[in-house]
Amino acid sequence: MAQWTSTVGAAQLARQLRTQQDRPTGPGSRKQPAYRALADGVRLLVLEGRVPVAARLPAERELALALSVSRTTVAAAYEALRAEGFLESRRGAGSWTAVPAGNPLPARGLEPLPPESLGSMIDLGCASLPAPEPWLTRAVQGALEELPPYAHTHGDYPAGLPALRQMIAARYTERGIATMPEQIMVTTGAMGAIDAICHLFAGRGERIAVESPSYANILQLMREAGARLVPVAMEEGLGGWDMNRWRQVLRDAAPRLAYVVADFHNPTGALADEQQRRALVDAARSAGTVLVVDETMHELHLDADVDMPRRVCAFDPAGSTVLTVGSASKAFWAGMRIGWVRAAPDVIRSLVAARAYADMGTPVLEQLAINWLMRTGGWEEAVEIRRGQARENRDDLVRALRRELPDWEFEVPRGGLTLWVRTGGLSGSRLAVAGERVGVRVPSGPRFGVDGAFEGYVRLPFTVGGPVADEAALRLAAAAALVGSGASAGAEAPRTFVA
């Protein structure tokens, strides 16, 4: 019986490997033999999670043709990977990826580190901050006081608690976008909302247009749902959407869905202007594409003079083209898994009906807590605390990076939680591996792209400040030095630090 659970095609693997070629490795470093470079490239893809463990690799002849190298080179690379524990083979079954005994399985998304690891590792993988107390405690206490009437019911509310649906609808209406409770479905976080939308609108094999780069966990969710991702390049820096590219993709590829983050885009931090928003809605409507707009960062404007444009759904108030996704996870706390979808009532009914085969509904107590916050004004005060935390962390991190890594390039966003950094020609994948060795966890750029794009980038969230931000920059500089010396691909155990 074969030990592999998925396959990687020769053309796909070749595209991913090419993004790692011709990267500077520092003065005085020697050029690796071709087989060694190939083995290191495959190992990095496995360690990054971009090639899954237990994935069957192409036959030697197929990969040699795709890479335009000799079969001997591929055979030698496969043999080196087997010797290091990153490949297993059996006659008749082929070769499949593995990890050596004792190595942790690579994460394919951006999961937070377990609490027991936080003492020795600075975690820059997860863009989430601690809860804005005392508002979490107050919200839970308020929810407990309001719980008894609901405890006498079955507790299943597939569309969400009526009170919370009404509250969310009222908040849109107050901002000039008339909304009925029937246009709202409460979900288990934004991920739950987008998962439900993808399953309803984009079956296996359907095209979904996505920003390039885009949020890594959503890209992985869509891949695992069987979608065919169509990347649309963002403008450089904080320029946001390139509308000429969007019009062309929507016209030529006719994707069933398009997914965008218009407010302080994750990972670049760009804020789409009002003209871009109107134009994208018009283009999606003309192409018959459903536009999914992720608003999880909407309230995280960090500078006082930011002039927020109208929401994207303001240009499609009925919700027939634009499906808006909101969440409490970024603006309030990631542990409060409450999200929502705003759409036309018939779309909401279809989402609710399909939900019966998924998670049935969202926890009542957490819905009551968010409703209490929004009703009492605690939401606004908690979000202001969150903005202050993120602003201070952003400024501390920017200062530390400019001091320790002056060759790294970035533009400072006016809001959101992430910094998109060009790493001076160094491989983001190798930096991620080296970072694990020196005590800092950082996601590489290719996690946010399609088929290995953005090898020369990393994403840094505003989750640490003060002395921890200084230490994080020092460790990133140490990781960069390892990559520059060509030492990042070693298999040594991570060093231990006390944060």
List pLDDT tens digits, range 179-199.
999 999 999 999 999 999 999
| pLDDT for res 18 | 79
The model's pTM: 0.82
Q: Write down the H helix ranges in 116-273.
A: 135-146, 148-151, 162-174, 189-201, 216-224, 243-253
Q: How confident is the model at residue 21 (pLDDT cuts 50, 70, 90)?
A: low
Please, is 483 exposed, middle or buried when counting C-beta atoms within 10 Å of its C-beta (0-12, 13-18, 19+)? buried
Residue 233 has pLDDT above 90, yes or no: no
| pLDDT for res 116 | 59
- DSSP for 135-172, written as a single string: HHHHHHHHHHHH-HHHHTS----TT--HHHHHHHHHHH
How far from 296 is each of 133, 222, 260, 266, CA to CA, in Å?
A: 20, 18, 11, 10
Average pLDDT over residues 297-321: 95
Average pLDDT over residues 1-9: 66
Average pLDDT over residues 22-40: 69
Structure confidence by residue, pLDDT tens digits, 272-304: 999 999 999 999 999 999 999 999 999 999 999
The residue with greater pLDDT, 382 or 428, is: 382
Pairing of strands 122-123, 207-212: unpaired
Beta bridge mates, 441: 123
| pLDDT for res 455 | 83
| pLDDT for res 100 | 82
Residue 254 has pLDDT above 50, yes or no: yes
The residue with greater pLDDT, 17 or 284, is: 284
Average pLDDT over residues 338-344: 97
CB 287 within 8 A of CB 239: no
| pLDDT for res 203 | 83
Look at 27-36, 81-90, 95-104 and tell me which has the smallest mean pLDDT. 27-36
Structure confidence by residue, pLDDT tens digits, 460-495: 999 999 999 999 999 999 999 999 887 655 433 333
- Name the average pLDDT for the chain: 88
Q: Write down the H helix ranges in 225-376.
A: 243-253, 274-287, 345-355, 364-376
Pairing of strands 55-56, 457-461: unpaired
Q: Which of 469, 325, 312, 472 is nearest to 391 (CA)?
A: 469
Contacts of 262 (CB under 8 A, 6+ apart): 271, 272, 276, 277, 293, 294, 295, 312
CB 429 within 8 A of CB 21: no
Q: Which of 282, 276, 286, 279 is nearest to 252 (CA)?
A: 286
| pLDDT for res 354 | 86
Residue 75 has pLDDT above 60, yes or no: yes
| pLDDT for res 327 | 96
CA 156 to chain centre: 30
Residue 94 has pLDDT above 90, yes or no: no
| pLDDT for res 109 | 44
Q: In order of start, what are the domains of the chain with their CATH numbers?
A: 6-14+29-97 (1.10.10.10), 115-127+389-485 (3.90.1150.10), 134-380 (3.40.640.10)
Tell me what percent of the residues of the chain surpass a pLDDT of 70: 89
Secondary structure element (H or E) that encloses residue 184, with its range: strand 184-187
CA atoms within 13 A on the CB side of 77: 28
Cα dihedral sign, 20-22-24-26: positive
| pLDDT for res 303 | 95
